[in-house]
Amino acid sequence: MKVLVVLAAVTALCAGAAIPTVPGDNSHYVEGESRYIWMPDGEGVPRLVDLQEPVPQDDLLEARNGANNEYWLFTRQNPNNRQLLLNGNINSIRNSNYRANRPTKVIVHGWNSNGNSGMNPAITSAFLAVQDCNVIVVDWNRLANGAYTIAVNGVPSVGQFLGNFLVWLINNAGGNWNQVHLVGFSLGAHVVGNAGRQAGSRPARITGLDPAGPQWGGNSRALNRNDGQYVEAIHTDGGLLGIFDRIADADFYPNGGRNPQPGCAISTCSHSRAPDLFASSVRTNHFNGRLCSNINQATSNQCNGNALRMGNAIINKRGSGIYGLRTGSSWPF
């Protein structure tokens, strides 16, 4: 019996440490056990991540510094050409197209991405198409483009610096917390959670797009329902690249919330589907979530309770519970 136990342990260890060879295929992955996982970069290309990669202590210390964040402003007056807003420099605000009487949307990318990664222009253009607003894209690429573990360690600081920037912006240039909506994808979902927390949970709305899962289970710095006035999460690759458990006021589980999403053959596609669904929802507001009695109903697409739209740009949106729905396989889904 002891021999069998030892053999089972060795087999599990080997399986957990085995390097997967098919890009984007995370069928091998076991949460909390596997060492390697495929993650998409900013353009959706699968990149192999070593979750146990040794990281020098100096690099971890550097990761805990979000001072290198950049804040890019887009408005209907400059929909394609960013204006750089500088924390503490009021002239950078006065010389920009920022207007205090407009709603303000903040978009935060995930790992191995930057402010130009595809999700940012997609969501920015969607917001500007339906509303005259300030859109601030946060570029935190100096931390996001390092080892995954470094990026994870940097998330709280990136979020805190973002929260402090928004407090300074509204205090000095004007604005209304009841008109602030933060949106983050993957690691960016945890960034906006930390930003909302730093700002005293004053943002009217926070949307987490498939909040990152690896190294976030039981992490007190993860996005949660207390980070804003209303917090929602859209789960598309739960249990693999995304968190599957309920973490927000309203948690949406399109197509069961897991891989594969319709039209996706690999997990990295399912993870990246969340910002695509959100961009579509801002433009069309056609995703009709139905309240579920429990998570099992959501997983099996058997929810038929009260309706709540998934995503969209409505700032005073409110809701609570678990919601299931079906989407299509291609734009606008």
The predicted structure's pLDDT at residue 13: 40
CA-to-CA separations, 233 to 211, 249, 266, 328, in angstroms, rounded: 7, 8, 21, 19
58 belongs to the catalytic site: no
Euclidean distance between CA atoms 221 and 84, whole angstroms: 28
The predicted structure's pLDDT at residue 152: 94
Which residue is catalytic, options 109, 113, 190, 210? 210
The predicted structure's pLDDT at residue 16: 62
210 belongs to the catalytic site: yes
Residue 133 half-sphere exposure toward CB, CA atoms < 13 A: 24
Note the pTM of the prediction, 2 decimals: 0.93
Which residue is catalytic, options 190, 227, 271, 280? 271
Q: pLDDT 10s per residue in the chain (333 long)?
A: 333 333 333 333 444 678 999 999 999 999 889 999 999 999 899 999 999 988 887 777 777 778 999 999 999 999 999 999 999 999 999 999 999 999 999 999 999 999 999 999 999 999 999 999 999 999 999 999 989 999 999 999 999 999 999 999 999 999 999 999 999 999 999 999 999 999 999 999 999 999 999 999 889 999 999 999 999 999 999 999 999 999 999 999 999 999 999 999 999 999 999 999 999 999 999 999 999 999 999 999 999 999 999 999 999 999 999 999 999 999 999
181 belongs to the catalytic site: no
Which residue is catalytic, options 34, 113, 186, 272? 186
Domain parsing of the chain, residue ranges: 54-325
Q: What is the CA radius of gyration of the chain?
A: 20
The predicted structure's pLDDT at residue 68: 92
> 54-325 domain in CATH 3.40.50.1820?
yes
My answer on whether omega of the bond before 54 falls inside 30° of 0, hence cis, is no
The predicted structure's pLDDT at residue 7: 32
What does the chain come to in residues? Answer: 333
Euclidean distance between CA atoms 73 and 94, whole angstroms: 12
